[in-house]
Amino acid sequence: MSDRKVGLLVIGAGPGGYVCAVRAAKLGVDTLIVEQDKPGGTCLNVGCIPSKAMIHAADEFYKACCFGSDNELGIKAGKAEIDLAKTLEWKDGIVNNLNIGVSGLLKRAGAESLTGKARFLDGKTVEILTSEGTIKVHAQNIVIAAGSEPIEISSLPFGGNVMSSTEALALPEVPETLAVVGGGYIGLEIGTAYAKLGSRVIVVESADRILPQYDAALTAPVAKRLPALNIELMLNAKAQGLTGDTLEILLQDGSSRSLTANKVLVTVGRKPRSDYGLEELSLTMDGTFIAIDDKCQTSMRGVYAIGDVTGEPMLAHRAMAQGEVVANVVAGGASTFDKMCIPAVCFTDPEIVTVGLSPQDAADQAAELGSEVSVGQFPLQASGRAMTMERDDGFIRVVARKDNGVVLGVQAVGSQVSELSAAFSLAIEMGARAEDIASTVHAHPTISEGFQEACMSVLGNGLHI
């Protein structure tokens, strides 16, 4: 066993880990990063990137299918076909190129990378098992960026025709019938993609509506769209088990229903990974997550944690921001992490974006804010651009202080609203007031005009509603 000493050891080369390592190395910190799989973590390899690639391919195929029959645009085309093997090859090519890109970023920054399995021996020492032997690393600072993994339920253990999102993104053929257990964003994103590729999709959700982490107004357009995509929704229902290709469902009234499902996708959530000797540390925990302060410092000096292991929201860009904070702190800088302006995007059909406070959250905090709250909303039915895209379902909503108009939160649901997430976040980060956005000239015709109009509505002088 060889011994090493480093200034910073990063466990996990996902979005948070590799960003932390790159930034720390550029700041002159002697940095080593270890990853047991490919660089990029869940997001790049089996999450964000491959799922968005599949969503895009499904969208394009669905459009082609629509043009094979009578449509309002007058476009006529032949029967659409898809070579799924070629689609997967294209998706995997994107992932591979980005893997290479992450490795290149680390190398150019001067961070050393190791492929291996890390395990804590104590708060300053980590054992790394590599293909060439074991290395003991003594680190002045350690960052836990180990990520998360799908939650398995006892009635539907993974294997055979029961799969997690990882396997769902690599199916060799489109299943005739796909049951999705869990109506959260992962299940709906992947389920919608397969519905557009031709599967009959059934979503089984134990709550009384889909996407329960969002308010009902935002999820309503998504739920309304499901039947048109050949997606059946079963609410207040629990999957009990799979026998052959028969999935048993328990309904709220106590009755049961049997469904035929060639494949079952279980997406009931994710849990933090802990298979790296976490029990060897005396960390303060927040349930199953590692508790941290505003510098992402754990309860042990010199041990930091970022990303999914620290709790919700489990978002790649949150982990990246935390990674930069830790790198700056370790290098001697003064950085803190503020979660106020983290956008959350759900790539359903239509898309959902939220950032900052919801109307209910703001109303609940009115006393603390020292002001009542004003809410302005612009329906995309009044958007010329949305009409020309044949997608006028949804709205943009702005939450602001009533006394001075400072924007506290922005929510939107609609086609391509994910691309507005940066504008929403920037408005809150910069302390913009509704009048600042309302008086900014927005290009016409664009969906972004809805942001301006919602702010006008906050001020009581909306133009097109």
Decide if pLDDT at 14 tops 80: yes
Rounded to whole angstroms, how far apart are CA atoms 262 and 259?
A: 10
Q: Which residues contact 34 (CB under 8 A, 6 or more apart)?
A: 9, 10, 11, 12, 13, 113, 114, 115, 116, 118, 126, 128
The DSSP H or E segment spanning 6 is strand 2-11
Structural domains in the chain, CATH included, are 2-149+271-330 (3.50.50.60), 162-268 (3.50.50.60), 350-458 (3.30.390.30)
Residue 49 CA from chain centroid, whole number = 10
pLDDT number for residue 268: 97
Q: Is the peptide bond before 445 cis (omega within 30 degrees of 0)?
A: yes
pLDDT tens string 335-350: 999 888 999 999 999 9
- Whether 90 and 97 have beta carbons less than 8 Å apart is answered as no
Is pLDDT at 1 greater than 80 in this prediction? no
| CB-CB neighbours of 390 under 10 Å | 11
Q: How far is CA 43 from the centre of its chain?
A: 8
- Report the percentage of the chain scoring pLDDT > 90: 96
Helices 316-330 and 15-26 pack at an angle, to 10 degrees, of: 30
Q: Record the tokens describing residue 216, joined without a space.
A: 């009902």
Give residue 366's pLDDT band: very low, low, confident or very high (50, 70, 90): confident
Q: Is the pLDDT of residue 369 over 80?
A: yes
Please state the rounded mean pLDDT for residues 127-134: 95
In angstroms, rounded to a whole number, what is the distance separating the alpha carbons of residues 245 and 264? 9
pLDDT digits (tens, 9 = 90+) for 295-336: 999 999 999 999 999 999 999 999 999 999 999 999 999 999
For the record, the structure tokens of 363 come out as: 């109303």
User: pLDDT, tens digit, for every residue of 274-284?
Assistant: 999 999 999 99
Q: What percent of the chain lies above the pLDDT cut of 70?
A: 100
E runs forming strands in 209-343:
231-234, 237-243, 246-251, 256-260, 263-266, 270-272, 285-286, 289-290, 303-305
Under a CB-based contact definition with an 8 Å cutoff, are residues 183 and 205 in contact?
yes
pLDDT confidence tier of residue 63, bands split at 50, 70 and 90: very high
Measured CA to CA, the distance from residue 421 to residue 417 in angstroms comes to 7
Q: Give the mean model confidence (pLDDT) for residues 89-94.
A: 98
- What does the alpha-carbon distance between residue 341 and residue 346 come to, in Å, rounded to a whole number? 16
Nearest to 8 by CA among 336, 261, 18: 18
Check if the beta carbon of residue 438 is closer than 8 Å to that of residue 451: no
**Are 39 and 99 in contact, with CB atoms under 8 Å apart?**
yes
The predicted pLDDT at position 393 comes to 95
Distance separating alpha carbons of residues 387 and 396, to the nearest angstrom: 15
Query: Taking a C-beta distance cutoff of 8 angstroms, is the pair 23, 324 a contact?
Result: yes
Catalytic residues: 444
Residues 59 and 71: beta-carbon distance below 8 Å: no
* Residue 465: per-residue pLDDT: 85
Distance from chain centroid for Cα 175: 25
**Strand ranges (E), 274-328:** 285-286, 289-290, 303-305
Q: Are 284 and 291 in contact (CB under 8 A)?
A: yes
- 0.85 exceeded by the pTM? yes
Give the position of tokens 């054992």.
127
Residue 45 has pLDDT above 70, yes or no: yes
Q: Which helix (H) or strand (E) holds 204?
A: strand 200-204
| Strand 162-163, strand 263-266: pairing | parallel
Strand order from edge to edge, sheet including 246-251: 237-243, 246-251, 256-260
Q: Which DSSP helix (H) or strand (E) runs through 4?
A: strand 2-11
**217-253 pLDDT tens trace:** 999 999 999 999 999 999 999 999 999 999 999 999 9
Phi, psi of 181 (to 5 degrees): -95, 105
Average predicted confidence (pLDDT) for the chain: 96
Q: Under DSSP, is residue 336 helix (H, G, I), strand (E, B) or coil?
A: coil
Amino acid residing at 223: A
Q: What is the pLDDT of residue 387?
A: 96
Each residue's pLDDT tens digit, 250-276: 999 999 999 999 999 999 999 999 999
Dihedral sign for Cα atoms in the order 377, 382, 388, 394 = positive
The two beta strands, 31-35 and 112-115, are parallel
**DSSP 8-state symbol, 288:** T
